[in-house]
Amino acid sequence: MGRLFGTDGVRGVANEDLTAEMALGLSVAAAHVLAEAGTFEGHRPVAVVGRDPRASGEFLEAAVVAGLASAGVDVLRVGVLPTPAVAYLTGSLGADLGVMLSASHNPMPDNGVKFFARGGHKLADELEDRIESRYREHASGEPWDRPTGAGVGRVRDYDEGFDNYVAHLVGVLPNRLDGLKVVIDGAHGAAARVSPEAFARAGAEVVVTLGTEPDGLNINDECGSTHLDGLRAAVAAHGADLGVAHDGDADRCLAVDADGNEIDGDQILAVLGLAMKEAGTLRGGTVVATVMSNLGFKLAMKREGVELVQTAVGDRYVLEEMKRNGFSLGGEQSGHVIVLDHATTGDGTLTGLLLAARVAATGRTLTDLASVMERLPQVLVNVRDVDKSRVGTSAELATAVQEAERELGETGRVLLRSSGTEPLVRVMVEAPELDVARDVADRLADAVKRSLG
Domain ranges of the chain: 10-162, 170-370, 378-452
> Is 389 considered catalytic here?
no
Class of domain 170-370: alpha beta
| Residues 6+ positions from 228 with CB-CB distance below 8 Å | 185, 245, 254, 256, 262
Task: Report pLDDT for 1.
Answer: 54
Give the residues across from 418 on adjacent strands: 425
Q: How confident is the model over 384-399, as a mean pLDDT?
A: 86
Q: Tally Cβ neighbours within 10 Å of residue 367.
A: 15
- In CATH terms, is domain 10-162 a member of 3.40.50.300? no
| Tally of residues, the chain | 453
Is the separation of the CB atoms in 169 and 199 below 8 Å? no
Q: Which element (helix H / strand E) includes 339?
A: strand 337-339
Q: Looking at the predicted structure, is the pLDDT value of residue 7 above 80?
A: no
Q: Looking at residue 392, what is its pLDDT?
A: 79
Cα separation, 423 vs 420, whole angstroms = 8
Average pLDDT over residues 387-400: 86
Average pLDDT for the chain: 94
- Tell me the pLDDT band of 422, cut-offs 50, 70 and 90: confident
Known binding positions for Mg(2+): 104, 247, 249, 251
Catalytic choice (27, 56, 102, 104): 104
User: Of 235, 222, 247, 257, which Cα lies nearest the Cα of 102?
Assistant: 247
Q: Is 378-452 assigned to CATH 3.30.310.50?
A: yes
> How do residues 191-248 score in pLDDT, each as one tens digit?
999 999 999 999 999 999 999 999 999 999 999 999 999 999 999 999 999 999 999 9
pLDDT of 140 reads 84
- As a whole number, mean pLDDT of residues 117-123 equals 93
Would you state the pLDDT for residue 409?
85
More confident residue, 315 or 94: 94
pLDDT digits (tens, 9 = 90+) for 250-284: 999 999 999 999 999 999 999 999 999 999 999 99
Question: Cα(72)–Cα(148) distance, rounded to whole angstroms?
Answer: 8
For 306-326, write each residue's pLDDT tens digit. Answer: 999 999 888 888 999 999 999
**Sign of torsion over alpha carbons 136, 137, 142, 143:** negative
Q: Which long-range contacts (CB under 8 A, 24 or more apart) does 234-237 make?
A: 234/183, 234/185, 234/208, 234/210, 235/183, 235/260, 236/260
CATH topology match: 10-162 vs 170-370: yes
Contacts 24+ apart (CB under 8 A), 214-218: 214/53, 214/80, 214/186, 214/188, 214/189, 215/53, 215/188, 216/53, 216/54, 216/55, 216/57, 216/58, 217/55, 217/108, 218/108, 218/188
Predicted local confidence at residue 453, as pLDDT: 76
In this structure, what are the phi and psi dihedrals at residue 42, rounded to the nearest 5 degrees? 85, 5
